[in-house]
């Protein structure tokens, strides 16, 4: 069952962010766009490549009013240890949420049943805390932060321009579509 168009469910978690442990709740994510970036586990192989890729675009996302929350079922202590020992993870300045009780993973329906690990999933919520984008890939397939950035730009454009939609491969500044009776069968 899709969670697109549904509000983020309540949660409370401790995160590692910029040398500190901080508490984060569902209420904290409201008021700006947010990315929940689930990955299976700390100290793994594909995960650091994705998290580093996301860290590289984090300043751009911040300028766009987007906050990032990476989430795994590890603890915030594990996140700190990984951050302190991995050059790739050491680049991260966004929130690294610990979800050892599986509340957040279950809320997003991304927990691998019987395994205790989150699948590789990305969820983008609007400032009202409503999920607008979802991407889920298998464990062996890493995600592309540049494509995530493109999708967020499209979602933000679509949200602020009622009556317009962004076609495939749409990039910021390109032509959008205005669905109408006149376009039916002509695209």
Give the tens place of pLDDT for each residue, 55-106. 999 999 999 999 999 999 999 999 999 999 999 999 999 999 999 999 999 9
Local structure of residue 7 (DSSP, 8 states): B
Distance CA 90, CA 52 (A): 8
Residues acting as catalytic residues? 47
Distance CA 184, CA 133 (A): 25
Q: SS3 for 141?
A: coil
Closest CA to 139 of 36, 45, 3: 45
Strands 66-72 and 33-38: parallel
Q: Which residue has the tokens 């699948």?
A: 119
**Arithmetic mean of pLDDT, 163-168:** 92
Q: Which residue has the tokens 């039916």?
A: 184
Q: Phi and psi of 13, rounded to 5°?
A: -150, 160
**Arithmetic mean of pLDDT, 107-116:** 94
Q: Is the pLDDT of residue 46 over 90?
A: yes
Q: 171 is written with which tokens?
A: 């990039």
Contacts of 184 (CB under 8 A, 6+ apart): none
pLDDT (tens digit per residue) in 15-25: 999 999 999 99
**Arithmetic mean of pLDDT, 119-145:** 96
Q: Is the pLDDT of residue 178 over 90?
A: no
Beta bridge partners of 58: none
Distance CA 74, CA 168 (A): 36
pTM of the model: 0.94
Distance CA 115, CA 111 (A): 8
Cβ atoms 23, 17 nearer than 8 A: no
């Amino acid at each position: 069952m899709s969670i697109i168009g549904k509000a983020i469910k309540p949660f409370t978690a401790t995160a590692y962010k910029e040398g500190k442990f901080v508490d984060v709740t569902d209420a904290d994510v409201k008021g700006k766009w947010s990315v929940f970036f689930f990955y299976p586990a700390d100290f793994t192989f594909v995960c650091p490549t994705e998290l580093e890729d996301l860290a590289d675009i984090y300043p751009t996302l911040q300028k766009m009013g987007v906050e990032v929350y990476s989430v795994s079922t590890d603890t915030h202590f594990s996140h700190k240890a990984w951050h302190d020992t991995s050059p790739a993870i050491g680049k991260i300045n966004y929130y690294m949420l610990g979800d050892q009780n599986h509340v957040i993973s279950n809320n997003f329906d991304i927990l691998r049943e019987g395994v205790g690990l989150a699948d590789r999933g990305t969820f983008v919520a609007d400032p009202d805390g409503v999920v607008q984008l979802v991407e889920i890939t298998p464990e062996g397939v890493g995600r592309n932060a540049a494509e995530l950035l493109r999708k967020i730009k499209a979602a933000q454009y679509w949200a602020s321009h009622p009556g317009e939609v962004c076609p495939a491969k749409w990039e910021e500044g390109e032509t959008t579509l205005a669905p109408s009776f006149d376009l039916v069968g002509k695209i």
